[in-house]
Structure 1
């Protein structure tokens, strides 16, 4: 499973990129607002840091506007993936951009039928929002299983990009459900390496090493 980082903070991205664990980046208007920086400038900088897909979202609501904005975003760098909302106009724009060879990420997916439409519209990625479904008392992970089953049955190449991930447990469940990608906040990514038994084992090893009086 690929790891994308859900942030527009370039300092965080640079630090995480040194691990070799980051396959791509997702951004949205809210994350750009949090960065306090110019949108195009931020996306261009991120694309220089990360060679993988970098999602940049349109803000137009009509298909023609989305196409126009999508082309502008794609011109920023070769690894930009244009992020589109899962609306009827978003699907039209997805088809148009995909036909032009521009990668798309269809976002705000909350049903298997929506995911089916996005795949037929040529989306490279579909972004089901797990956490937001969980907030409504719906099993968000069940949606990942349904999309995986549909895509496998019909051979769709659209990648399942699990979004709105809130915890390490979400990441594990997504991996088991067959999600192609998990887009994760930096804090959650770092938490994946943590376990109390690891900490205890390391402390024990170091105590024994100190007792030998040796150095490496």
Structure 2
């Protein structure tokens, strides 16, 4: 399963990319606004840092506008994936952009029916928002299970990109189900790295080593 970072924060992207943990990036207008600065420069830098797919989102709601923006976004780099909303206009744009060899991530998916249509339109990725479903009293992970079953039934090439991830267990469940990608905020990835027993174990190892050094001053690794 690939891990994408859902952020436009360059510091977080650089840090986790240097660890070898980042397979790609997803962004959206809200994330760009949160970071401030010149969005063009931010997008250029993200595409430069990350070698995997970088999803950049259109702002238009009509097909012609999405096509214009999508073609322009693609010029940032060959690893750019254009994000289009799961609307009739967005699916039309997806079909056309895909025919031009511009990959598309169809976003704001909330049902299996929508996911099927995104796959039929040729999307490289479809992004179901599980956290928002949970917030509305639905089971977001069940959507991923149903999508996996349907996509496997018909060998759809579209990848399931789990979005709106709120905590590490969303990642675990997505991996168990067989999602292709999860995209998560930096703080969730940070939580995945940590466990209290790791900290305790390291502390004990270092304490034991210091004790050994006192008994044997010339000891080295």
Question: Which 5+ residue runs of structure 1 have no aligned equivalent?
Answer: none
Q: How far, CA to CA, are the matches of 2:69 and 2:203 in structure 1?
A: 53
- Counterpart in 2 of 1:161? 161
Q: How far, CA to CA, are the matches of 1:111 and 1:15 in structure 2?
A: 34
Q: How far, CA to CA, are the matches of 2:38 and 2:81 in structure 1?
A: 18
- Counterpart in 2 of 1:58? 58
Aligned structure 1 segments of 4 or more residues deviating by more than 3 angstroms? none
- TM-score computed with the length of structure 2 as normaliser: 0.95
Q: Does 1:20 align with 2:52?
A: no
The 10-residue stretch of structure 1 (52-61 or 195-204) with the greater mean CA deviation from structure 2: 195-204
Question: Per the alignment, in what secondary structure is the counterpart of residue 182 of structure 2?
Answer: strand
- Counterpart in 1 of 2:116? 116
Q: How do 1:90-129 residues align onto structure 2 when only pairs under 5 Å count?
A: 90-129=90-129
- Counterpart in 2 of 1:9? 9
Q: How far, CA to CA, are the matches of 1:190 and 1:55 in structure 2?
A: 21
* Structure 1 residue 215 displacement after superposition: 3.7
Question: Which 5+ residue runs of structure 2 have no aligned equivalent?
Answer: 214-218
Q: How far, CA to CA, are the matches of 1:114 and 1:135 in structure 2?
A: 19
The 10-residue stretch of structure 1 (11-20 or 132-141) with the greater mean CA deviation from structure 2: 11-20
* Structure 1 residue 39 displacement after superposition: 2.2
Question: Per the alignment, in what secondary structure is the counterpart of residue 175 of structure 1?
Answer: helix
* Structure 1 residue 210 displacement after superposition: 1.5
Q: Does 1:194 align with 2:194?
A: yes
